[in-house]
Amino acid sequence: MDKNEILKRIENSKSTSELETVNVDVLGKSGSLSLALRELGKMSPDERKVRGAELNLIKQEIISAIENKKSILELSEINEKLKSDKIDITLNKAENIKGFVHPITKVREELLQIFATLGFRLVSANDPDIEDDFHNFTALNVPEFHPARSMQDTFFVEGGNLLRTQTSSVQIREMERSGVPVKVITMGRVYRSDWDATHSPMFHQIEGLYIDKNITMAHLKGCLIDFLKLFFEVDDVPTQFRPSYFPFTEPSAEMDIRCTLKDGELKIGANGNRWLEILGCGMVHPNVLKSVGVNPDEYQGFAFGMGIERLTMLKYGISDIRKCYEADTRWLSHYGFDANDIPNMITGLSKK
Ligand code: DAH
């Protein structure tokens, strides 16, 4: 180890990285100075005293030479970089693109507000999309091997669970959670193996459940007619309750509205040319109540379920459901909504 040679190497370093190499060569774990210091251990106490003091002085000198050189090199490197870095001030500033509220989000909001007005509590944002057989089928009076299962073909995952085919599973979960009486809605994703202009493998449903001691089909009709008037913003909605079949309701009905639907435009009224199916509903089947330990001789009520995409498409004239999921900003700017135009928005987005 030659001090002068080291100092010369420091002085001649052309960059901070070259200087770092010198630093490691001298002061690193197996650097020349570190090795020399380690040699002290082998010397007699007298020798060690003299040589130790000498080496420490050299070490201080080298460290301060490195520090000095380092600040000089760093400064010149920064200056070099500033000289070569150019900011292109001619570039256009990124366009400030405004987002839109997706029509499905808008309709979820409308539904929430309407059903809140009708006295329904929103539940279960956290209920699982991956559901078990009991909640999706068995407890809803659809036992294993029941043919109604094949109407709702879905995706099974390991362990026998499945992607829920209907939000009706939440009827069971909510009654397990808080018993009866109950008056709730839930909204969420459901899954089926479908894919065309009006069906998607994932879509959203809204489900309602009202159970108490004296709830009748008259309440069901009144509630749903009020809902449709508020949702479609019309004074009168001609409806028919067409007998149907759902395993979890008895009697079951499909609710249709009288309307004309031309080029995606919906006109509701008695002079319409067709009945259009809007939703499924019925009086909750005694077996469903029994499956959650509720006595059907004491409690009864109604349930209903509908597709949120379908309602959105009807209300806002959207013809292809698949467009709802393509994140095409042109489509969104056409069918979407300005958050500022939606007062008191509760779901999902806050007003900005
Ligand atoms: N779960 C049904 C479906 O997905 C819709 C439905 C029908 C829900 C009748 C209900 C009901 O609560 O009472 O097709």
pLDDT digits (tens, 9 = 90+) for 193-206: 888 888 899 999 99
Query: What is the reported pLDDT for 351?
Result: 38
In this structure, what are the phi and psi dihedrals at residue 115, rounded to the nearest 5 degrees? -70, -25
The burial of 335, by beta-carbon neighbours within 10 Å (0-12 exposed, 13-18 middle, 19 or more buried), is given as: buried
Query: What is the reported pLDDT for 1?
Result: 74
Residue 121, both tokens: 């509590």
151 pLDDT more than 80: no
Query: What is the reported pLDDT for 347?
Result: 54
Tell me which of 115, 168, 204 to substitute to probe ligand 1's pocket, judged by most ligand atoms within 8 Å of the beta carbon.
168
**Residue written as tokens 């080291």?**
6
pLDDT digits (tens, 9 = 90+) for 234-291: 999 999 999 999 999 999 999 999 999 998 899 999 999 999 999 999 999 999 999 9
Lining ligand 1 with CB less than 6 A are 166, 168, 207, 246, 249, 280-282, 303-305
Distance 205 CA to ligand 1 centre (A): 9
235-264 burial, b at 16+ Cβ within 10 Å, e below that, comes to: eebbbebeeeebbbbeebbbbbbbbeeeee
Q: Which atom of ligand 1 is nearest to the CA of 166?
A: 4
Query: What is the reported pLDDT for 215?
Result: 98
CB 293 within 8 A of CB 307: no
Whether this model's pTM surpasses 0.75: no
How many residues are given for the chain? 352
Q: Please name the residue whose Cα sits nearest to atom 6 of ligand 1.
A: 305
Distance, in Å, from the CA atom of 25 to the CA atom of 202, rounded to the nearest integer, reads 64
Cα dihedral across residues 284, 289, 292, 298: positive or negative: positive
